[in-house]
Amino acid sequence: MTDPRYPIGQFQLANENLSADERAQLITQIAAAPAGLRAAVAGLNDAQLDTPYREGGWTVRQLVHHVADSHMNGYIRVKLALAEDVPTIKPYDENVWVKLGDTPATPIETSLNLLDALHERWANLFRSLTPAEFARTFRHPELGTLSLNKQLALYAWHGRHHTAHVTALRERMGWH
């Protein structure tokens, strides 16, 4: 049985020296992520949105808002790495953020719309980078130094990861 925390497997990147074709595929995934998440949550009612994707896990509503929070941070980290020399970024506690008052108060459509705009900008930014720029790095206080190649791969995976949480839940619950 697949671990419900990682329906597409844990993030892995064997080689950070991505080819232009590999980067192009990952950028396509970044660009497509909002539409994939939107399709995964389409037609869910409030009770379904408030269902945890697994026992002890976040609700679908929390997942959608988390993706928006996370990807905003991810986008800013890319910009910082391009504008500064190895900046140290500020991490955030995702488990605290999903419990803040905006999560239950904000329709998921707001975060889905935010993701549409954000990912258009993010994909355009990634498409504009040279191989040398993809090698630029930032420092995460807990994870160490990350290149923009790794950041691209991580967030391409992250969007698919959370979309798969929703689609796996729908399958288990028979919500077709």
Residues 99-145: tens digit of each pLDDT: 999 999 999 999 999 999 999 999 999 999 999 999 999 999 999 99
Quick one: average pLDDT of 86-98?
97
Domain assignment of residue 83, yes or no: yes
14 found inside a domain? no
Distance between CA 53 and CA 63 in Å, rounded? 9
> Above 70 in pLDDT, residue 1?
no
Q: Quote the pLDDT of residue 118.
A: 99
62 within 8 A of 10, measured Cβ to Cβ: no
39, part of any domain: no
In a domain, 73, yes or no: yes
- pTM summary value: 0.97
What CATH code is carried by the domain that includes residue 145? 1.20.120.450
Q: Domain residues for 113?
A: 44-173
Q: At what angle do helices 60-83 and 148-173 cross, to 10 degrees?
A: 170
Kindly state whether residue 31 falls inside one of the protein's structural domains.
no
Q: Is residue 98 part of a domain?
A: yes
